[in-house]
């Protein structure tokens, strides 16, 4: 197998190895076992999600970058899993496709039991945590941060669930999550403005607020977003759309007006 010298220690899923990832052919470092560490090549940027009254809403942009190039502009990074969940991923897109295949196998064999039971979001989250952590232990991680949301009937009625797993196996459950740059730009807004039992319209407005900030301030984000929601009725992934940006501040026009000839 290829042995790349670079170890996993640097950056998360959204940090490509320089602007030319395909040229990363370094000789294997001297000493011992083959290390199957990786660079991420084609990466997706942030995913944000939050619980609202009827279930969970998740959103992300539809772009995938190849290093510093915006290579793919119509990529679906949110998919439905089974009847009760949706999953969103940032990071290496091919690893996300692999995870979707694992989940397909999982849901298929679950369906074949034909026992009237189906896997809920909590179970999917647990399964993915085990997969991610075990891969990390073998120094062969799936370079993703995953967001799993869903609603399933439980002993106390319909239970909404929203959780996150990242490439090293860190996992938790929260009322609102974000991956990548969303951690720094969207989480402060969500912490201040999220509350229990938001309506769908309120939730979409809050999500759009976060997506707009990410569009302005994350260089790998594009102005084409997809929102998905999951409720007891099932999952809906809406068609992509763009947000309106505002560039009309007077201070953006002629910033050097105070001192002609300055820089």
Alpha-carbon distance of 13 to 89, in angstroms, equals 10
d(CA 145, CA 122): 16
Number of residues that bind another protein (CB under 8 A): 24
Least distance from C-beta 141 to another protein, angstroms? 26
Distance CA 230, CA 98 (A): 23
For another protein, the closer of residues 97 and 257 by Cβ is 257
Closest CA to 165 of 181, 152, 187, 149: 149
* Binding pattern for the stretch 155-194 against another protein, x by CB under 8 A and - elsewhere: -----------------------------xxxxxx-xx--
Asked if 259 is part of the footprint of another protein (rule: CB under 8 A), the reply reads yes
Q: Give, as one character, the DSSP assignment of residue 117.
A: -
Site string for another protein, 201-220 (x = CB under 8 A): --------xx-xx--xx---
Q: Smallest gap, in angstroms, from Cβ of residue 176 to another protein?
A: 13
Q: Which stretch binds another protein (CB under 8 A): 115-123, 126-134, 234-242, 249-257?
A: 249-257
Distances (CA, A) of 183 to 1, 41, 158, 248: 34, 21, 28, 28
Catalytic residue positions, numbered: 37
| Structural contact between residues 123 and 85, judged by C-beta atoms closer than 8 angstroms | no
Instruction: Point out which residues bind another protein (CB under 8 A).
Output: 184-189, 191-192, 209-210, 212-213, 216-217, 249-252, 255-256, 258-259, 262-263
């Amino acid at each position: 197998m290829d042995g790349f010298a670079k170890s996993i220690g640097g950056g998360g899923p959204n940090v490509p190895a320089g602007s030319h990832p395909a040229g990363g052919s370094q000789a294997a470092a001297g000493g011992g076992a083959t290390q199957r560490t990786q660079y991420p090549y084609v990466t997706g940027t942030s995913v944000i999600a939050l619980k609202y009254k009827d279930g969970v809403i998740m959103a992300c942009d539809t772009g995938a970058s190849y290093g510093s190039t915006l290579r793919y502009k119509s990529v679906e990074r949110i998919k439905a899993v089974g009847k009760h969940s949706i999953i969103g991923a940032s990071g290496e897109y091919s690893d996300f496709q692999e995870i979707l295949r694992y989940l397909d196998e999982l849901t298929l064999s679950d369906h074949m039991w034909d026992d009237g039971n189906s896997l809920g979001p909590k179970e999917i989250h647990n399964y993915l945590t085990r997969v991610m952590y075990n891969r990390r232990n073998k120094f062969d991680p799936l370079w993703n941060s995953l967001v799993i949301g869903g609603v399933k009937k439980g002993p106390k009625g319909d239970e909404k669930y929203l959780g996150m797993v990242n490439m090293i196996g860190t996992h938790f459950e929260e009322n609102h999550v974000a991956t990548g740059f969303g951690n720094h730009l969207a989480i402060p807004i969500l912490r201040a403005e999220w509350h229990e039992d938001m309506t769908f319209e309120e939730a979409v407005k809050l999500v759009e607020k976060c997506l707009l900030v990410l569009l302005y301030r994350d260089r790998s984000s594009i102005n084409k977003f997809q929102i998905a929601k999951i409720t007891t009725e099932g999952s809906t992934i809406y068609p992509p759309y763009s947000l309106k940006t505002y560039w009309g501040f007077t201070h953006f026009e002629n910033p050097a007006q105070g001192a002609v000839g300055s820089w």
